[in-house]
Amino acid sequence: MTEKEHLIVGTAGHIDHGKSSLVKALTGIDPDTLPEEKERGLTIELGFVFMDVPEYEKQIVFIDVPGHEKFVRTMVAGASSIDVVLFIIAADEGISVQTREHFDILQLLRVKEGIIALTKSDLVDADQLEKLGGEVGAFVQGTFLEGAPVIPVSSLTGSGLAEIKAALMAAGRCVCRREDCGYFRLPVDRVFVMHGFGTVIAGTVLSGGIKTGDRIEILPERIETKVRGVQVHKEKRDASGLGKRTALNLHDVDKTLLRRGQCAVAPGLITPATRLDARLHLLNSTRSAGETSSTSPRRGTNGSTPRRSPASAVSRARRKRPSSSFSGKRRTNRGPRRRPPSPYGPD
Ligand SMILES: Nc1nc2c(ncn2[C@@H]2O[C@H](COP(=O)(O)OP(=O)(O)OP(=O)(O)O)[C@@H](O)[C@H]2O)c(=O)[nH]1
Ligand SMILES: [Mg+2]
């Protein structure tokens, strides 16, 4: 049996706007699994849920992200590998702070496909929905979501769920197959210990393939190890490849050495460095707020800080510790309000 290509669907949107509830209503599975998430009624960690649709040619995988502004770094890590965004706006609250911020991030990450869900539609009347539809249309004008379906939905009553599912599948058909440079790269977005198996890392394969017995290197620390086992969709496989949500059981690596933001690669492929040359793109909203671009980096995302860069098209960041990156990798910077860029260039 040939395995289906994975379609990675990421949620995005303001806190409490109903992202996790919608994933649960669509799949029957709650993406919030931590006791603390259940207790506090909010998402803290990324949630991963597979939606099986036998008649669909792709395997849909949801990545549910937190909406709380404190967890934006986690949201970026989740959004970094998505094909389609399920962009959530609560009908009773409308466009809010993290609606805007998540949308900025999606644009910076160059997400190309998506649909817009007006959640909690049971809490408003038809006139309010129509008004919000107009506001949302203006908000996404000129962006990748211009013309995307805007669908009222209620996770409580189930109204609109079938339309959301159909629109996601249609958006998934517009996603082109990712380009494969051939060498293995897997940005780590989950680390856990499986009873009886040991340490496991998981993520979406960015390029190349991997099979049981292969040697890999975890960057930037250059931890060398061997793959003891490969899982795709929670099932044991001999191998996995491009675009697949994949879990790798590692040989003899302590979990405390691993974290989200690292990258598993074929050994010797990438040499970590302390300098990073990048092209900067400042958002209009950032520019008008008078921020510089030198803020905390949120690349995939491991939290080291570059030196201040000018608000220009090209920057060179120096890091205290070596980090790993590669050509074409996109990252986002965000931080506290700073003084405006100096007209004399960097200091
Ligand atoms: N009435 C109504 N309430 C909803 C609906 N969807 C979600 N809620 C409620 O809204 C609250 C927040 O829902 P969540 O799904 O946790 O929101 P979230 O966007 O995942 O929140 P974060 O992960 O913290 O960003 C919960 O109390 C839900 O029961 C809906 O369609 N109708
Ligand atoms: Mg949630």
Give the tens place of pLDDT for each residue, 104-161: 999 999 999 999 999 999 999 999 999 999 999 999 999 999 999 999 999 999 999 9
Same domain, yes or no: 54 and 115: yes
Q: With a threshold of 0.75, does the pTM exceed it? A: yes
In a domain, 225, yes or no: yes
In a domain, 341, yes or no: no
Same domain, yes or no: 192 and 321: no
Same domain, yes or no: 159 and 282: no
- Antiparallel, parallel or unpaired: β 47-51 and 58-64: antiparallel
Same domain, yes or no: 44 and 140: yes
Same domain, yes or no: 12 and 125: yes
Same domain, yes or no: 132 and 109: yes
- Residue of 62, 129, 155, 163 to mutate, ligand 1, most atoms within 8 A of C-beta: 155
Number of compact structural domains in the chain? 3
Of 246, 265, 284, the last residue of a domain is: 265
Of 265, 294, 311, the last residue of a domain is: 265
216: number of Cβ within 10 Å: 24
What is the atom index within ligand 1 of the atom nearest the CA of 67?
25
Two structure tokens written together for 152? 């009222």
Is any ligand 1 atom within 6 A of the Cβ of residue 92? no
Is any ligand 1 atom within 6 A of the Cβ of residue 42? yes
Same domain, yes or no: 167 and 210: no
In a domain, 342, yes or no: no
Same domain, yes or no: 79 and 136: yes
Residue with the smallest CA separation from ligand 1 atom 3 is 120
Owning domain of residue 304: 274-334
Q: How far from 219 is each of 73, 185, 216, 332, CA to CA, in Å? A: 19, 10, 10, 19
Indicate the burial class of 112 (C-beta count within 10 angstroms; 0-12, 13-18, 19 or more): middle
Same domain, yes or no: 132 and 16: yes
Residue with the smallest CA separation from ligand 1 atom 21 is 16
Residues, the chain: 347
In a domain, 40, yes or no: yes
Contact between 199 and 254 under an 8 Å Cβ cutoff? The reply is yes
Contact between 88 and 150 under an 8 Å Cβ cutoff? The reply is no
* Ligand 2 is an ion; residues with CB less than 5 A from it: 19-20, 43
CA of 89 from ligand 1 middle (Å) equals 11
Give exposure, 243-256, as e/b (b: 16+ Cβ within 10 Å).
bbbbbbbbbebeee
pLDDT tens for the chain, 347 residues: list them.
578 999 999 999 999 999 999 999 999 999 999 999 999 999 999 999 999 999 999 999 999 999 999 999 999 999 999 999 999 999 999 999 999 999 999 999 999 999 999 999 999 999 999 999 999 999 999 999 999 999 999 999 999 999 999 999 999 999 987 788 889 999 999 999 988 888 999 999 999 999 999 999 999 999 999 999 999 988 899 999 999 999 999 998 999 999 999 999 999 888 888 888 888 877 766 655 444 443 444 444 444 444 444 445 787 888 888 888 777 778 777 665 444 443 333 33
Same domain, yes or no: 291 and 232: no
